[in-house]
Amino acid sequence: MEAIHVHGGVSLQGSVRIHGSKNAALPILAATILTKDESIISNCPRISDVYQMLQLLNALGCKVCWEGNGIRVDAGNVTQSKMPTEAITGMRSSLFLMGALLGRNREVVMEYPGGCVIGKRPIDLHLKALEQMGAVFEEKEGRICGKAPEGLHGAEIYWNISSVGATENIILAAVTAQGKTKIHGAAREPEVEHLCRYLLACGGDIEGVGTDCLCISGGKALRGTHYTVPADRIVAGTYVLACLAAGGCVLLEEAPAQQMTSVLELASSMGAEYQKAANGLYVQAPERLQGVRELITLPYPDFPTDLQSVALTAMTGADGECLIEETIFENRFRVVEPLREMGADIRQLDAARVIVRGPTRLEGREVEAVELRGGAALVVAGLIAEGETVVRGCRYIDRGYENICRDLRELGARIYSV
C-alpha cells in the first residue's frame, strides 16, 4: 500500500469488528520461545509488526504458521540467539526477545531496535534491570551482545518511571530466572496483564497481576498453551475519535470498553454518547463537537499517548481552545505541521505542548505519515476535510492497523488505498 486516498465529508454509520491487539500480541509471541512446546495464539492481527515478529521467531529456530486467525508456534528447537538485522531495526518490539533469549539460551545478539520516530525511547531501563539479574552486556560492531553465563537470577527492581516495554521484558526474563524477581513501579497497561496471563497459563508463577508491583517466582518449566489475544483498545479508540470527528453513529464490535475509560470520558466531555453492550461499544457523535480545556497523556489508566495525535485531529473540529500536553514521547507532535497545511489552527508552545483552536475547516492535501499513530490521525483528518486527502507513508500505518481502509469503508467512509 503506497498511499491512502480519502474523500471527506461523510459521517460514519454501521459496525466494524476490532481486530486483535498489536501491543498484546507481540510480547506474547516473544514469550512462546520460553517453552519447548507448541503454543497457539488466537486473534492475532495481520499487521506488518506481527509478520516481522514471526520472521524473527523463524530465524531463531521456531516453526511458525498461521491457522485461521491464529498462529501456531513450535518453540522446541530454539538454538539461535542472533536475529536478522532488517526485522529488528524496523520494529521496536523485537526488544522483547532480549529477556526471553537470555532466559532460554543465556545469550542474545541484536541490533538496536527501531520502529517509529516518536522519541528517544532509551533502553537503559531494560539493560540495567537485566544486569541486576546477572546479564552482562557489551557493544560490538553496533550490536548489543548480552550473556548470562550462570543463568539469570531473581532481583529486586525499582522504577520511578513506568515503562511498558521494560516491564514486559523483565517479566519474560524473570519467569525462567532462578529465585524471585520483584518489580516495583511496573506498568499497569492491559497488555502487561495479558502477557502475565499467558505465562500463568503456561505454568508460570506471577503475583500482583494488574498492579504496579509484580512478584515473579522463576525457574519453573513452562508448557505450551492456547491463548486468545484481546481486541485492540488503541484501534477501537481511533475509531471512537474518528466517529466524533466525522459525525455519525457506530458499533465497534468486540471493543474492550473496560480498558478504554479515559477515551470514553473524553468522548463524553466532547458531547458524545456511548453505550457498552455484550457485542461491543456503541458511539453516537454529537451534532456539534464540544472542546475540552486540557488533555494530558499519562500511563494507563489515564489517556494513552498512542491516541494523542488522533484526539488532536478531532479537536480541530471542536468548539473552543484545548491545551494538549504530551508527557510520554517528545516527538508525538510531528503530525502538527501536516494538519496546519490542511487548515488547522494549532500553536506549538514547546516540544511537549500545543494549543488547538476550533472549529476549523480542513481542506484535503497530500500529506506524509512519519509514524504509526500520526498516520492514523492524518487518515481521520481526511475524513473531515473538504475534497481529497492523500496520505503517503502508509507502511507506518500498516504496523498497527490490519486494514484501516476496509474498516472505515465498512463505516461508510469514501476511502481506498493504492
Same domain flag for 240 and 339: yes
**Can you tell me the distance from the alpha carbon of 31 to that of 93, in angstroms, rounded to the nearest whole number?**
12
Same domain flag for 246 and 199: no
Domain residue limits at 210 = 22-228
Neighbours of 329 (CB within 10 A): 20
Q: Are 41 and 28 in contact (CB under 8 A)?
A: yes
The yes-or-no answer on residue 116 being catalytic is: yes
> For residue 287, with 0-12 CB atoms within 10 Å meaning exposed, 13-18 middle and 19 or more buried, which class applies?
exposed
Same domain flag for 244 and 190: no
Specify the pLDDT at position 111: 79
Specify the pLDDT at position 114: 54
Same domain flag for 201 and 272: no
Q: Show which of 228, 259, 275 is a domain's final residue.
A: 228
The enclosing H or E element of 241 equals: helix 233-246
State the CATH number of the domain containing residue 210: 3.65.10.10
Specify the pLDDT at position 116: 44
Q: Show which of 193, 228, 263 is a domain's final residue.
A: 228
**Can you tell me the distance from the alpha carbon of 180 to that of 16, in angstroms, rounded to the nearest whole number?**
44
Specify the pLDDT at position 117: 42
Q: Which of 116, 202, 322, 405 is catalytic?
A: 116
For the chain, list residues with pLDDT below 50. 115-119, 121
Specify the pLDDT at position 255: 98
Structural domain tally of the chain? 2
Same domain flag for 373 and 253: yes
Reading the block at residue 383, the C-alpha cell is 475524513
H helices of 81-150, in order, are 85-89, 96-105, 124-132
φ/ψ region of 308 (left if φ > 0, alpha if ψ in -120 to 50, else beta) reads alpha
The enclosing H or E element of 184 equals: strand 180-184
> Rounded to two decimals, what is the model's pTM?
0.95
Same domain flag for 171 and 275: no
Same domain flag for 80 and 193: yes
**Can you tell me the distance from the alpha carbon of 291 to that of 273, in angstroms, rounded to the nearest whole number?**
15
107-129 residues labelled b (16+ CB within 10 A) or e (exposed):
bbbbbebebbebeebebebbbeb
Same domain flag for 180 and 255: no
Same domain flag for 411 and 276: yes
Same domain flag for 214 and 291: no
* Strands laid side by side in the 63-67 sheet: 63-67, 70-74, 38-42, 226-228
Question: The cell 458511539 sits on which residue?
Answer: 283
Q: Show which of 228, 249, 273 is a domain's final residue.
A: 228
Residue 273, strand partner residues: 284
Same domain flag for 287 and 214: no
Specify the pLDDT at position 92: 58
Cis status of the peptide bond prior to 359, with omega within 30 of 0: yes
Specify the pLDDT at position 400: 96
Same domain flag for 220 and 236: no
